[in-house]
Structure 1
Amino acid sequence: MSGEAARRSPTADRILRAAAELISLRGYSATSTREIAAAVGVEQPALYKHFSSKKEILAALVRLALERPVAVADELAAVRAPAVVKLHRWLQEAYEYVNRSPNVLAAIIITPELQQNDAFAAEQALVSKIEPVIVDLIRAGQDEGDVRELNPVSAARLIEAMFDAVTFPDLAVDPAEIVEFTLVALLADPARLPEIRSAADALEISAEPAHPPR
């Protein structure tokens, strides 16, 4: 668990949960800290004991959504295993993590301010780490002969778009099904999927998931 997650109080978790739900429904600009506090059942000054501003709440949501997938990618980079096996495990970890608290990522996806406002530079940097992780694994898989010929950047962006399927309730797709669908589309020999799945499940990942607010 990340240090930040370990330090969060139950009230802070409730604030993040309420903020994620409101922002995913109304948008960042249309959501006020007063509304977030009311949804949690606390006065607005009590909210500021945990987060100094709405910007800080959104920044915390970005870290909550992305620090775990980035940490898993960093750990897998040091693991001796075929790239396609590491890609399978990373997708599995990332999709399952996001699926546990879908409103968190939904709030980020629909917030253009994250990319348009320099005040979110640190959060932009964290978001920008995801695509290269996928691109590098796809390219390595191609070099190893396991991934078919395709544009790695285009494939990575399609994979990122698949996060919508576990983020928005109306789409509601099982994360495991998304991983299977993705790997079948990428593999030079889709018949190897069971073998790759077993190898991915066997990888030891020590990075513990932060607990997203439910």
Structure 2
Amino acid sequence: MAYLRCMSGEAARRSPTADRILRAAAELISLRGYSATSTREIAAAVGVEQPALYKHFSSKKDILAALVRLALERPLAVADELAAVRAPAVVKLHRWLQEAYEYVNRSPNVLAALIITPELQQDDAFAAEQALVSKIEPVIVDLIRAGQDEGDVRELNPVSAARLIEAMFDAVTFPDLAVDPVEIVEFTLVALLSDPARLPEIRSAADALEISTESVHPPR
């Protein structure tokens, strides 16, 4: 939770120029790859000199680390809020999926840049970011298990189901797939529910949950 507050504070402190740098970096990396993208090219895409870029980020690795935090700040913050809400786990899962998919969909290049960057998993310099990424799967697994305990989610392997859900992020990340986040949430819940006919009821309950709608939107 303290780390999430730190991420929120960082997001609030980002300048418009820093957001433009992240947007340009995400687009270039998603198209060319991390290794093939230089800070000089990122600076040129933003319209600033290379030294100006270093006023905001110390290196290309620092930019990539910031993209990881940017991609995960809202999904993890929502999970943190939902943990304190009294509601059935399946309702929380619906709301978390809705918030997470819609957040990613607003700036798909950010997640695309991370998905195609093997250095994130291979370079020990990104250990903190690897730890942050590893927080997502347990959020989903815990909600699925709780939903099973409550009788709302059918019998299946929670870890396998969580990994299938994570894979669905590709469908809102890559333009050639172009699947509506709402359709992905509906498809996922129908697959998970013990009684799919309850989906409208669960959707309404999820929409009614009172959680913060304030977040620093990913740079477009």
TM-score by length of 2: 0.95
CA apart distance, 1:3:
1.6
1:207 offset after TM fit, Å?
6.0
Q: Among the aligned pairs, what percent are the same residue?
A: 96
Quote the Cα distance in structure 1 between the aligned partners of 2:31 and 2:164. Answer: 24
On the 8 A contact 1:75/1:207 being kept in 2, the answer is: no
Deviation at 1:195, TM superposition (A): 0.2
Q: Using the alignment, how far apart are the partners of 1:111 and 1:24 within structure 2?
A: 9
Structure 2 gap ranges (5+)? 1-6
- Alignment deviations for residues 109-142 of structure 1 (CA, whole Å, 9 cap, x no partner): 1111111111111101110000000001001101
What TM-score, normalized to structure 1?
Answer: 0.98
CA root-mean-square deviation: 1.0
| TM-superposed deviation, 1:208 | 2.2
String of CA shifts for 1:28-78, please: whole Å, max 9, x gaps: 111110110111111111111111100010011000000110111011111
**Contact preservation (8 Å) 1:5, 1:211:** no
Aligned to 2:12: 6
User: How far, CA to CA, are the matches of 2:114 and 2:211 in structure 1?
Assistant: 26
In structure 2, what is the equivalent of residue 110 of structure 1?
116
Report the Cα distance in structure 2 between the residues aligned to 1:128 and 1:200, rounded to whole angstroms. 25
Judge conservation of contact 1:22–1:31 (CA < 8 Å) in 2: yes
Q: Deviations over 1:162-195 (max 9, x none)?
A: 0000001111111011000000000000000000
Kindly report structure 1 stretches of 4+ aligned residues shifted beyond 2 Å.
none
Report Cα offsets for 1:6-30 as digits up to 9, x if no partner. Answer: 2111111110000000111111111
Contact 1:72 1:207 in 2 (8 A): no
Aligned equivalents of 1:23 and 1:135: distance in 2? 30
Matches within 5 A, 1:36-185: 36-185=42-191
Unaligned runs of 5+ in 1: none
By relative contact order (CA 8 Å, sep 6+), the higher-ranking structure is 1
Q: Take 2:116 and 2:38, find their aligned partners in 1: how far apart are those partners?
A: 16
